[in-house]
Structure 1
Amino acid sequence: MGRGTSNASFPTWSRPLLQALVLALGVLTLASLTGCYSIPQQRAAIYGVDVKSVDGSDKIDTGELEEKLATAPSPKFLALFRGVVYDYTYFDRGTLQRDLARVEAYCRARGYYEAHARAGRVHYPTRNHVKVELLVEAGEPVKVTTPVIHGVHDLDRKVLRAVKRAVAKQLVPGEPFDEEHFNDAKNDLVRTLTDRGHAFAKAESEAAVDLVAHTATIRFDVVAGPSMRFGELDIQGLDGLSPGPLRAVMGMKKGDTYSTQALDDARQAILDLGVFASVEVTPDLESGPQPDGLVPVKITVEPSRLHTVRAGFGIEFDSLRTDIHGLIGWEHRNFLGHLRVFSVETRPGVVLYPLRVNNLVAPEKPLFENRFKVELRERGLFNTRATGFIRPQLDIYPVLINPNPVPDAPVLGYGELRGAVGADNVFWRLYAALSQNVQVAYPFSYKGTLDPTLTTIVISYPELLLQLDLRDNRLHPRKGVLLASGFQVAGGPFLGDAQDVKVQPEVRGYLPLGKKVVLAGRFGAGFLFPLNYGEAVSGNAASLSARDRTRDYQITFFRGLFSGGPNSNRGYPSRGISPYGNVGFLTPEAERLRQDSNCTEDCRVPTGGFSQWEASAELRVAISGPISGATFCDMADVAPQAATLRFSHLHLSCGLGARYDTPVGPVRVDIGYRIPGAQVLGGLTPDEKEPTTLFGLPIAIAVGIGEAF
């Protein structure tokens, strides 16, 4: 079979690239004409500030110091151009002297009371450009001795141990005396007591610094007060709404041991209902301890809008498809009372087939698609924080998984009815969801003749999702860890055409490398154990009848594992990393392929596999305001055998990305480049296929909302 002609030749892609280049140059020229600043006479713009330790040690965080200085380098527009859009910062010796005092104060606050700072060098590379070098001599630090805590000996043993742990976490004997840690130790001590019933706990702190001995003697005087319990919980401001769901999700009641953490959790749980614009949870501590040992709590809420209408549109343009779609949705957050949430959303669209980013031709046939989903959520299920849900959904869509289909290839479509019934809950930072899912997929043809061996597929499975989120922020994490896993069992007593077990664990980590830089990493795996299908994908397609082979590929399409795309390996298109096979019902020569499994490369399409691993590392850098950038490397593989992780199949992709922050998360564009020689060590295996190129280059462009991980 001849190869498809969808790859663009040089003359085809050069014009749009040149147009984009001219547009970019035009934007930069306009910016330089409308927002370009000049350096006045007798002034010097700061081009660099460097803080160095005299002894070359890492006693002082010089990077953090540089961020606190008023003597700062002139900002760069798009991290490239100084004096464009943003004005220069100018060198001033008076400001420099004040910065030297700031440096010494910073060092003293971190235990280096003998620190000395001086301007080591003020260098003028040109007449109006200056680079400043500050030298810091930290000296010997004042070190922490074992803190002494008075007034806690009558406490319960568990509470006493918790108090000592809270102080020891901040103040480690032998470490430099850090004033911030000293203050945090006092706050953590009091918080430890108020979290364990001592609502009126107070503490005084004192640090005696001996500059001769270089020691800090630390003392805390604690008044724990009596152990208290929650009194009446008075909810105000409901404006006719039912208080039942609030009391269910708060997780506390009259008579429970007083806890500041419980108050914070209750406030967040009420906000998570999505019904209230503001929530205040205020314990009555002004009257002091009462004889009954109870602390009344007032919960003041302000309802937000209970009805929301959403409308919008979007465009998807990648190596698999081009579509234009709309979005219309409606949500009621007090449906039939009791703060039930009812929402309905439809996403109609049209695929401009066969227009793709690597096939710039006029659309030949519009492929209409739609996603229609409804959700009903019941708050406070069984008078707990759990939420029950019902989620029916109807999807109509074309199956477009081959970046280079042959010109006369048929286009298969599915009408897919999904349904999920279950409940979810949050325990501290652990999210858990359990649901029963049913999926019915009915095949039809958008273009060409429908393969007669295709049948309706029914899949039924329970699913357990667990996610432990220890990150500092969900949308913009800077530090912390996220652990997640999904577990499914299909078929058997749950009926359906597919019988399998699927497990997908994942771990993510985040580490700040400065105020504007974050290192993020991710590793995930997937294990699918098919019990009544998988022969075609694992290499035994020829031994199956035409109908069994089609059924095998159909089920694997819905249940199999794939990699590639905006939230996976960004050097490949969606589903680009997968075992490939001759799937007869997706080609124009279905009958021949059922008789002869040999086919040219263009015939093979991703089928999905049974073992998956993915790894990513990303360096995120804040540039200016809502604009940030990233550099990343992704690796992934999907094997056609179960329980087989092929770490020699790297599929290594590295690239650059840009982000623009929005209230729902950053809008990002990433360009991934497949590193030559680092795709499959030792060469492609028979189940794999050489990936397609974009503009003749081994790259892919990924667009998404929210961080990749």
Structure 2
Amino acid sequence: EQLQRLVRAAPEQVRSLLATAGFYTPQVSARIAGDPAAPRVLIAVQPGEPVLVGKVELLLQGFASAASAQPAAPFDAAALKESWGLKEGRIFRQADWEASKRNLLRQVVQTRYPRAQLSETQAVVDPESHRVSLRVVLDSGPELRFGALRIEGLRRYPASIVVNLNPIKPGDYYSEAVLQAYQSRLQDSGYFSSVEVSADQSALLGEQVEAQQAAQPAAAQPALAAVMPPLPLVVRVTENKRKNVSAGIGYSTNTGERAQLSYDDLNVFGLKFKSALTLETKQQTARGEFFFPTTKDGYNDSVGASFQRSDIANQITSVASIAAKRAWGTPLIERSLSLELLTENTVVEGAPASDSRSKSLPLTYGWTKRHLDSLLFPTRGYVVNATLGGALLPVLTDEIFVRASAKFIYYRPVGAGNTVILRGEGGALASKEKPGVPNTYLFRAGGDQSVRGYAYQELGVSEGDAIVGGRYLATGGVELQHWFTPTWGGATFYDAGNAADTVKDLHPKSGYGLGVRYKSPVGPINVDVAYGHAIRTYRLHFSLGFTF
């Protein structure tokens, strides 16, 4: 008997389900067949003709700027109507109907009308003509603008940190995207463990209630024409602890085993201080850097000092430097200008004059552009980085030189689960003499982020028993990735390139192989086995994404 009740109810349930997919006149029958001891339920469905969208009526109410507010461009109502997803002639599905309404409202509330609402929505289905008439009325509510900044939660750090990162000026239109961008900038500053940026609408609600109580019905004015008070911009922060010490160990297929000790202090005479001591098999580095708070114009200035010793390809290099840097821009387009004073001591094994010293004062401009669908796990787009600079004056410089370099990476999806990655890097250095030019400004190739199949900076100019840097660099590579699951994939690749003192000596060395890819919470992890064709040996490479 219970089965019979379920069978009797089934046709109506099926009709309701089909209606959500756009079929309002289905023929449905259900019956019990077979052996009573093992019955079967047979449901016959003829969905019939789908209901199509007929007349679409979108009414936009309001969307007028206040008469005494700052002059503003009118809201693009035509573009808003054009964005309506459920257009005439499409099958009327409940999911599409709800999504279209949400999208329409979302476009408005994220801009200067955050209190917009759908005051009326109606879908009238005519089963005989298999058409549905849609009516949507969207009321914009009042036009709102940002007001003064209010900061909550600051205890030990200066308010200028929050103020200087603020892109919003009093009188600017309300924008959810701008709020999110401001919040991201504050979170990335390193001073705060949590950040919340919002527009306080509570005061506005109170003023509206008081105004409505005081207003006379005959003298009531449309809300759209009223000048609404600005929304206070509220920033709530939880500060990071001022001092932090951390230690870690690791391994790199470029420079070997690693141990690192870091010390940070977020408020040393109003500046952020970051320092680290890194000990690797092939390279040891000590550095300390002071960061000034971001200026109102968006500049990030820093000064620092470092010492690095490296023993790579039988060349031992010791570099001491002090540097000043100014960086500005966005995560999509970054720019920097740096001035560095360095002294360098180099020992080349097997060379006639194995020991050399040099000093230099180079100025370098850097530019990076990112155009990616995802900064963490890109599958489409590109990143381009270029630098131009050199030691241009005979001041604290042994050899005047000019240096330029550029590199790029390009992502393109090909079919389901496949991505093609193209990489390239090139550079050139011009000077009257090569001795006196710091080796850190010359070019070498090979390693995890260069030509795989070769050791780190193994490709360059032969000198004695060592490989040293050259004046020119050219490398490139192509890689095909295939993702077997959302997090695991494989890759096949081919790299080629070299560094030399002349263009004609840039004989490319190739490497190729296979790899495994894993999407970790901190970025893609790459493990590759590459064959260096010129040296006829295999090499393991481990890296975290591609760094610029």
- Bin the TM-score by the shorter chain: 0.7 to 0.9
Q: Secondary structure at the match of 1:253?
A: coil
Shift of 1:502: 1.1
- Counterpart position of 1:414: 317
> Quick one: distance in 1 between partners of 2:500 and 2:55?
59
Shift of 1:371: 0.2
Map 1:547-586 onto structure 2 (within 5 A): 551=435, 557-576=439-458, 578=459, 580-584=460-464, 586=465
The change in CA–CA distance for 1:606 and 1:280 in structure 2 (over 3 A counts) is same
The change in CA–CA distance for 1:482 and 1:412 in structure 2 (over 3 A counts) is closer
Q: Which amino acid aligns with 1:327?
A: Q
Q: Secondary structure at the match of 1:565?
A: coil
- Counterpart position of 2:164: 248
- Counterpart position of 2:239: 303
- Counterpart position of 2:411: 509
Q: Which amino acid aligns with 2:376?
A: L
Q: Which amino acid aligns with 1:197?
A: R
Match of 2:492 among 594, 607, 632: 632
- When normalised by structure 1's length, the TM-score is 0.58
Tell me if the contact between 1:422 and 1:433 (Cα under 8 Å) persists in the aligned partners: no
Q: Which amino acid aligns with 1:669?
A: V
Match of 1:259 among 169, 172, 175: 175
Q: Secondary structure at the match of 1:333?
A: strand
Tell me the alpha carbon deviations over residues 21-74 of structure 1, each in whole angstroms, 9 at most, x when there is no partner: xxxxxxxxxxxxxxxxxxxxxxxxxxxxxxxxxxxxxxxxxxxxxxxxxxxxxx
Map 1:466-615 onto structure 2 (within 5 A): 466-472=368-374, 474-477=375-378, 479-493=379-393, 496=397, 497-509=399-411, 511=413, 517=417, 519=419, 521-528=421-428, 530-533=429-432, 551=435, 557-576=439-458, 578=459, 580-584=460-464, 586=465, 605=467, 607-608=469-470, 610=472, 612-615=474-477
Q: Which amino acid aligns with 2:290?
A: L
The change in CA–CA distance for 1:248 and 1:212 in structure 2 (over 3 A counts) is farther
- Counterpart position of 2:277: 346
Q: Secondary structure at the match of 1:668?
A: strand
Q: Which amino acid aligns with 2:495?
A: M
- Counterpart position of 2:327: 424
Q: Tell which deviates more after alignment, 611-620 or 277-286.
A: 611-620
Shift of 1:566: 1.8
Map 1:367-378 onto structure 2 (within 5 A): 369-378=283-292
> Quick one: distance in 1 between partners of 2:188 and 2:482?
29
- Counterpart position of 1:668: 526
Map 1:90-109 onto structure 2 (within 5 A): none
- Counterpart position of 1:380: 294
Shift of 1:432: 1.9
Q: Which amino acid aligns with 1:633?
A: F
- Counterpart position of 2:6: none
Shift of 1:380: 2.5
Shift of 1:572: 3.6
> Quick one: distance in 1 between partners of 2:248 and 2:291?
24
> Quick one: distance in 1 between partners of 2:115 and 2:21?
31
Shift of 1:376: 1.3
- Counterpart position of 2:262: 329
Q: Secondary structure at the match of 1:504?
A: strand
The change in CA–CA distance for 1:315 and 1:507 in structure 2 (over 3 A counts) is closer
Tell me whether 1:393 sits opposite 2:277 in the alignment. no
* Higher-Rg member (1/2): 2
Q: Secondary structure at the match of 1:247?
A: helix
Shift of 1:498: 4.4
> Quick one: distance in 1 between partners of 2:411 and 2:23?
32
Query: Structure 1: which 5+ runs fail to align?
Result: 1-100, 116-136, 352-368, 401-410, 534-547, 588-604, 675-689
Q: Which structure shows the bigger proportion of residues in strand conformation?
A: 2
Shift of 1:249: 0.7
Q: Secondary structure at the match of 1:250?
A: coil
Tell me if the contact between 1:209 and 1:216 (Cα under 8 Å) persists in the aligned partners: yes
Tell me if the contact between 1:111 and 1:143 (Cα under 8 Å) persists in the aligned partners: yes
Tell me the alpha carbon deviations over residues 492-512 of structure 1, each in whole angstroms, 9 at most, x when there is no partner: 248642422414152433649
- Counterpart position of 2:512: 653
> Quick one: distance in 1 between partners of 2:245 and 2:160?
26
Q: Secondary structure at the match of 1:454?
A: strand
Shift of 1:467: 2.5
Tell me the alpha carbon deviations over residues 289-330 of structure 1, each in whole angstroms, 9 at most, x when there is no partner: 755431123322222322221112234456xx7x44321110
> Quick one: distance in 1 between partners of 2:407 and 2:25?
51
Map 1:284-295 onto structure 2 (within 5 A): 284-286=200-202, 287-288=204-205, 292-295=228-231
- Counterpart position of 1:282: 198
Q: Which amino acid aligns with 2:83?
A: A
Tell me if the contact between 1:520 and 1:620 (Cα under 8 Å) persists in the aligned partners: no
Tell me whether 1:151 sits opposite 2:33 in the alignment. no
Tell me if the contact between 2:300 and 2:327 (Cα under 8 Å) persists in the aligned partners: yes
Tell me whether 1:314 sits opposite 2:250 in the alignment. yes
Tell me the alpha carbon deviations over residues 108-141 of structure 1, each in whole angstroms, 9 at most, x when there is no partner: 97879999xxxxxxxxxxxxxxxxxxxxx99998
> Quick one: distance in 2 between partners of 1:279 and 1:250?
13
Tell me if the contact between 1:562 and 1:609 (Cα under 8 Å) persists in the aligned partners: no
Percentage of pairs with the same residue:
17
Q: Which amino acid aligns with 1:700?
A: R
Shift of 1:187: 4.1
Tell me if the contact between 1:413 and 1:446 (Cα under 8 Å) persists in the aligned partners: yes
Query: Structure 2: which 5+ runs fail to align?
Result: 1-12, 27-45, 66-71, 209-226
> Quick one: distance in 2 between partners of 1:659 and 1:635?
21
> Quick one: distance in 1 between partners of 2:291 and 2:19?
55
The change in CA–CA distance for 1:217 and 1:617 in structure 2 (over 3 A counts) is farther
Tell me whether 1:190 sits opposite 2:105 in the alignment. yes
Tell me whether 1:164 sits opposite 2:79 in the alignment. yes
Shift of 1:167: 5.0
Tell me if the contact between 1:341 and 1:378 (Cα under 8 Å) persists in the aligned partners: yes
> Quick one: distance in 1 between partners of 2:48 and 2:451?
48
> Quick one: distance in 1 between partners of 2:407 and 2:242?
37
> Quick one: distance in 1 between partners of 2:228 and 2:497?
64
What is the CA RMSD across the aligned residues, in angstroms? 4.4
Match of 1:617 among 463, 479, 488: 479
Tell me if the contact between 2:305 and 2:321 (Cα under 8 Å) persists in the aligned partners: yes
Shift of 1:248: 1.5
> Quick one: distance in 2 between partners of 1:642 and 1:447?
23
- When normalised by structure 2's length, the TM-score is 0.73
Q: Which amino acid aligns with 2:318?
A: G
> Quick one: distance in 1 between partners of 2:365 and 2:145?
39
> Quick one: distance in 2 between partners of 1:231 and 1:442?
54
> Quick one: distance in 2 between partners of 1:313 and 1:636?
32
Q: Which amino acid aligns with 1:466?
A: T
Q: Which structure shows the bigger proportion of residues in helix conformation?
A: 1
> Quick one: distance in 2 between partners of 1:631 and 1:562?
25
Q: Secondary structure at the match of 1:193?
A: helix
> Quick one: distance in 2 between partners of 1:608 and 1:445?
16
Q: Which amino acid aligns with 2:286?
A: F
Tell me the alpha carbon deviations over residues 502-523 of structure 1, each in whole angstroms, 9 at most, x when there is no partner: 1415243364966xx4625234
The change in CA–CA distance for 1:490 and 1:209 in structure 2 (over 3 A counts) is farther
> Quick one: distance in 1 between partners of 2:449 and 2:20?
43
Tell me the alpha carbon deviations over residues 92-114 of structure 1, each in whole angstroms, 9 at most, x when there is no partner: xxxxxxxxx99x97x99787999
Map 1:80-229 onto structure 2 (within 5 A): 148-151=57-60, 155=64, 160-161=75-76, 164=79, 167-168=82-83, 170=85, 183-203=98-118, 218-229=134-145
Shift of 1:448: 6.8
> Quick one: distance in 2 between partners of 1:652 and 1:207?
63
The change in CA–CA distance for 1:447 and 1:513 in structure 2 (over 3 A counts) is same
Shift of 1:279: 1.7
